[in-house]
Chains A and B, each alone.
Chain A
Amino acid sequence: MPRRFGLKLAGILYYCLFAAAVFAQTTNPTAPRTENSKPTAVSPPDNPEPEGNNPNQAHQNQQATAPNQQAPSLGDLGFPSNETKPNPEEQARLDKRSHMLRIHQRLGLITTVPLVATVVTGSFAGGRSTSSTNRDLHAALGATTAGLYITTASYAIFAPKPHGIETRGPIRVHKALAWIHGPGMILTPILGAMAFEQKSRGEKVHGIASAHGPVAYVTAQTTALL
């Protein structure tokens, strides 16, 4: 008899607890109601675009949904902490890298101007031409090109390198070509200086200096390919 009474009491208590729990959930002020599923508090958007009647409006920095304790959080998704943790140092490195590579790109574009001019004036500086003015102009443009090229390259060389990133895409071609036009841009002015000396002495360009033209041509071609 007492056992049956105990079971009866347990049943009543359990039912009361269950009813109380359900009642507490339905009256929880933080839990959203069905009618509150759409945004209710709409703050003016930062976006200066006119709203019109377009339903697909983007509004910044506003909460569309009321806070919900049941809503999943980022921690529930199981991402490794190193993927979700902010890294200001890495951001600073990326900022510096992008800044340096932007300068690299702009200087590279600027360098193409004296490069083209050097190639054009080169056709008047060699061969049977005896004009020292053309040679001087060609030499000056060549020196400017080499100087700008080295400055441009240094911004890429000294830009911070990201960790653990495999190089993919057209940048691989860009980097591979640098192994051709880089040495070429060092060799060309050296050979050019030798050719200039020989020509200034009234000699015909000879020896390794005679490679100045072909080396310059290959260098200019690969540089132009970027």
Chain B
Amino acid sequence: MYRKILLTLILSTALTFAAGNEQWVLQESTLSYHVSHPLHEIDGVSHAARGKGVCHEGQCDFLIAAPVKSFDSGDSNRDLHMIQAARGAQFPMVTVRTRLSESELTSKTIFLDLDIEFAGQTVHYAHLGFQQAIEGGQHRISGTIPAKVSDFKIDPPTLLTMPIKNEMPVRVEMVWRSA
């Protein structure tokens, strides 16, 4: 009898802890920044982001990171200039931290406060809307971060003495799954 009670207690404890510490893993991602120049439009894409989410007491903390040098705009010379301008050797990673309540994990639209660390600056973007589609345990999240070059105190790169525009929206496409 007591053995059964003990086993039940152990099982319920394990389940409680398991439920309270759900983890999420970034399965695949596409991050792309868009930059406008009077002479052309540029998109730099990275598929190298990794991410993890940990849920605890109804709150989930997420971290997504990608190497700055992993962004490819199709021109190695331009990418090297981007790394230099963004101080990518000194600060090689771009990281995004966010938190949301566990109950929002299944919402079609999720609003996030993001802390983005890039080029040695940490910038907070509040209440950004992201779309979520859940298919077979996979959570597809997409949205755009309205980043600006000046947010990160980056000197706007120039081509033929003309600087790029200040707007640098970052398109985010991610697929998360429960670990």
User: What is A's interface to B at a CB cutoff of 8 Å?
Assistant: 4, 7-8, 10-11, 14-15, 18, 22, 25-26, 31-32, 34, 37-39, 47, 55-65, 68, 70-74, 76-79, 83-88, 90-91, 93-95, 97-98, 101-102, 105-106, 109, 162, 165-171
Q: Determine if B76 and A56 form an interchain contact, defined as CB atoms under 8 angstroms apart.
A: no
Interface string of B97-130 (1 = CB under 8 A from A): 1111100000000000111000001111111100
| Contacts A7-B3, A78-B50, A162-B80 given; does A86 touch B91 at CB 8 Å | yes
Q: Give every chain A residue within 8 A of B9 (Cβ-Cβ).
A: 11, 14-15, 18
Additional 17 contacts, C-beta under 8 A, given A18-B9, A31-B56: A8-B2, A14-B13, A18-B13, A60-B122, A60-B123, A64-B99, A64-B126, A65-B113, A68-B61, A74-B93, A77-B52, A85-B92, A86-B90, A87-B92, A91-B87, A94-B89, A168-B74
Q: Determine if A65 and B115 form an interchain contact, defined as CB atoms under 8 angstroms apart.
A: yes
State in angstroms the CA–CA spacing of A11 and B84 once bound together. Answer: 62
Q: Give every chain A residue within 8 A of B10 (Cβ-Cβ).
A: 14
A226's nearest neighbour on chain B, judged by CB, is B160
**B63 partner, pick from A31, A71, A101, A167, beta carbons under 8 A:** A71
Q: Determine if B63 and A170 form an interchain contact, defined as CB atoms under 8 angstroms apart.
A: no
| Contacts A8-B2, A72-B53, A169-B78 given; does A37 touch B121 at CB 8 Å | no
A6's nearest neighbour on chain B, judged by CB, is B2
Q: Give every chain A residue within 8 A of B76 (Cβ-Cβ).
A: 165-169, 171
Can you name 30 A-B residue pairings with CB atoms under 8 Å?
A11-B2, A18-B9, A18-B13, A32-B59, A39-B124, A55-B127, A56-B126, A58-B147, A59-B124, A68-B59, A70-B21, A71-B97, A72-B52, A72-B61, A76-B63, A77-B51, A77-B63, A79-B93, A83-B92, A94-B88, A101-B77, A105-B159, A106-B161, A109-B160, A165-B76, A167-B77, A168-B76, A169-B77, A169-B78, A171-B75
State in angstroms the CA–CA spacing of A87 and B90 once bound together. Answer: 5
State in angstroms the CA–CA spacing of A14 and B146 once bound together. Answer: 51
Q: Determine if A97 and B80 form an interchain contact, defined as CB atoms under 8 angstroms apart.
A: yes
A1 → B minimal CB distance (Å): 12
Q: Determine if B160 and A91 form an interchain contact, defined as CB atoms under 8 angstroms apart.
A: no
| Contacts A38-B113, A169-B77 given; does A60 touch B121 at CB 8 Å | yes
A96's nearest neighbour on chain B, judged by CB, is B84
State in angstroms the CA–CA spacing of A90 and B87 once bound together. Answer: 10
B47 → A minimal CB distance (Å): 14
Q: Give every chain A residue within 8 A of B35 (Cβ-Cβ).
A: none
B150 located at the interface, meaning its Cβ lies under 8 Å from any Cβ of chain A in the complex: yes
State in angstroms the CA–CA spacing of A93 and B84 once bound together. Answer: 9
B148 located at the interface, meaning its Cβ lies under 8 Å from any Cβ of chain A in the complex: yes
Q: Determine if A72 and B123 form an interchain contact, defined as CB atoms under 8 angstroms apart.
A: no
A226 → B minimal CB distance (Å): 10
Q: Determine if B92 and A86 form an interchain contact, defined as CB atoms under 8 angstroms apart.
A: yes
B172 located at the interface, meaning its Cβ lies under 8 Å from any Cβ of chain A in the complex: no
Interface residues of B in 57-72 (CB under 8 A from A): 57-59, 61-63, 65, 67, 72
Q: Determine if A34 and B51 form an interchain contact, defined as CB atoms under 8 angstroms apart.
A: no
Q: Give every chain B residue within 8 A of A166 (Cβ-Cβ).
A: 76
Q: Determine if B57 and A169 form an interchain contact, defined as CB atoms under 8 angstroms apart.
A: no
State in angstroms the CA–CA spacing of A14 and B23 once bound together. Answer: 26
| Contacts A4-B2, A72-B54 given; does A60 touch B61 at CB 8 Å | no
Q: Give every chain A residue within 8 A of B53 (Cβ-Cβ).
A: 72
| Contacts A18-B9, A109-B160, A169-B78 given; does A37 touch B92 at CB 8 Å | no
**A37 partner, pick from B3, B16, B100, beta carbons under 8 A:** B100
Q: Give every chain B residue within 8 A of A39 (Cβ-Cβ).
A: 113, 124, 126
